[in-house]
Structure 1
Amino acid sequence: MDDLMLRVHLLPDLVEPMALKDGVVVVIDVLRATTTITTALEHGAKRVIPCLEVDEARRVAAEHPQAVLGGERGGCPIPGFHFGNSPAEYRHELINGRTLVFTTTNGTRALMRCRAAAAVFIGSFVNLSAVCEAVRAFDNVHLLCAGTNGQITSEDVLFAGAAVHRLSNMQGDRFAPSRWNDSAQLAFEFWRCRVPNITREQVENSLRLSHGGRNLTSLGMQDDITLASQVDKFSCAPHLNLHAWEIRKS
């Protein structure tokens, strides 16, 4: 185990919080929390404050002038919130300079799992290269999939596989397959099988077939799948400040 440098965790509950101690974690909730957080920050949000519960989010927002509320439950917007969890909602003219207080069903729960980590980044296809560049110099990298309601979701595993592939290409022997855990090997093989030519169309098709993709389609939110499939649209790697408990663009 001491020789492992790159680990994928298919669900937050499959890793003990203290196992993340001193490591760098990339939290993954492709459909849609980590895509939406990255989009909001790229479009000018000052910071994102993740909250576990709806009532907590309302209390936190009341403490911050100019704060706006965003998030979802069961994929649907929360009554009384300014925004849902669609990246399309977070336009520059609406979010620029504002504090976003944000709560989602799965993504914010995954963030809570990382309190003992040395550093936490936000990962999605829209910032794949940026987040890999941000963590490439670290030892002990963890890719943490949020899943959906305690179930493994292929959209998050797909991104984890893409990140494993990218990091291994960047760092050579340092992130060689012999230094991956079994879940990293599975994620890499899944990525290589589903997206052999690494095109946006292949990513989008795979996301549409996923649990999260089917959920969004059933809710009439299939356009969010297209937005989440735009590989390397953005160049930031949002970073969670574990002391201030806020995410900022980095």
Structure 2
Amino acid sequence: MQLSVHLLPKLVAPETLAGSTAVVIDVLRATTTITQALHAGASTVVACLEVDDARRIRQDDPQVLLGGERGGERIEGFDCGNSPLEYTPEKVANRVVAFTTTNGTRAMQHCRQADAILLAAFVNLSAVCDVLANQPVVHVLCAGTDGEVTREDLLLAGAIVAKMEMRHAELQLNDQARIAADAWNAVRGDGSGECLQQAVANSQGGRNLLRLGLSDDIAYAAQMDRLPVVTCVHPETWQIRVFTGACQADATR
């Protein structure tokens, strides 16, 4: 198995991802929130690059929920922000969510040439790794924050590497994957989750959320394996759904 980590989208050319499974990471908070929304029963989350893209989807269907953020805060006129705690079954079950964020949705677009695009978070780490175990070539793409490497994304990438190393004796890694694994091994602690939550809170993304009074989002995003689902992006439509075996095939269902 060949596993490469890219600490920012700009560190890998989109064409490099062709023929591979891409995994997008935006721990704080896009991939965590999208995973929660689909687990809570949303039928589809549509990844939108721009705020106006989401609003146009709503114009075509008034039943669509608008979700997302700019600068960490809910966009004016949107139904939800980018907090996973907002996406409850009562709010999102059987609804389409048009979703846009500062960094996460752009990282997804960067992976458009990959054969499959999965979303990973700490909350679904093991479920994602179960899918990756059978993939020969995997590229893990960290969204970062405004073009800067973020510690929380680095740590999750390292956790993925660590789990894959336990499954594959001859895992081929790039240097960024080794850097991520070293970072993860330094904070994994005793498995209680306290070390991870502290590390996420002390990251730049974590400090940004603390300034906004969103410490509960950090606590949620740092929970390991809370959700037994994997989410998959269909680049033909930019719809994100629960993964059921093959992203491309599922897009037509």
Alpha-carbon separation, structure 1, partners of 2:33 and 2:129: 18
2:39 aligned with 1:46: no
Residue pairs, 1:83-232, within 5 angstroms: 83-173=80-170, 175=171, 179-232=172-225
Q: Give the counterpart letter for 2:219 in structure 1.
A: T
Identity of aligned residues (%): 48
Residue pairs, 1:53-72, within 5 angstroms: 53-72=50-69
Number of matched pairs = 243
SS in structure 2 opposite 1:159?
helix
SS in structure 2 opposite 1:122?
strand
Alpha-carbon separation, structure 1, partners of 2:205 and 2:190: 23
Alpha-carbon separation, structure 2, partners of 1:16 and 1:33: 22
SS in structure 2 opposite 1:172?
coil
Give the unaligned 5+ runs of structure 1: none
Alpha-carbon separation, structure 2, partners of 1:172 and 1:54: 45
Q: Give the counterpart letter for 2:229 in structure 1.
A: C
Q: Give the counterpart letter for 1:180 in structure 2.
A: L
Alpha-carbon separation, structure 2, partners of 1:197 and 1:172: 24
Alpha-carbon separation, structure 2, partners of 1:61 and 1:133: 35
Give the unaligned 5+ runs of structure 2: 244-253
SS in structure 1 opposite 2:168?
helix
> Residues 172 and 196 from structure 1, CA distance in 2 versus in 1: closer, same or farther, beyond 3 angstroms?
farther
TM-fit CA distance, 1:63: 2.2
TM-fit CA distance, 1:172: 2.7
* Contact 2:152–2:203 under 8 Å retained in 1: yes
TM-fit CA distance, 1:113: 0.1
What is the root-mean-square deviation of aligned Cα atoms in Å? 1.0
Alpha-carbon separation, structure 1, partners of 2:145 and 2:132: 25
Alpha-carbon separation, structure 2, partners of 1:199 and 1:123: 20
Alpha-carbon separation, structure 2, partners of 1:226 and 1:164: 23
TM-fit CA distance, 1:64: 3.3
TM-fit CA distance, 1:238: 0.2
CA offset digits 1:104-162 (Å, max 9, x no partner): 00000100101100000010000000011111111110110000000000000000000
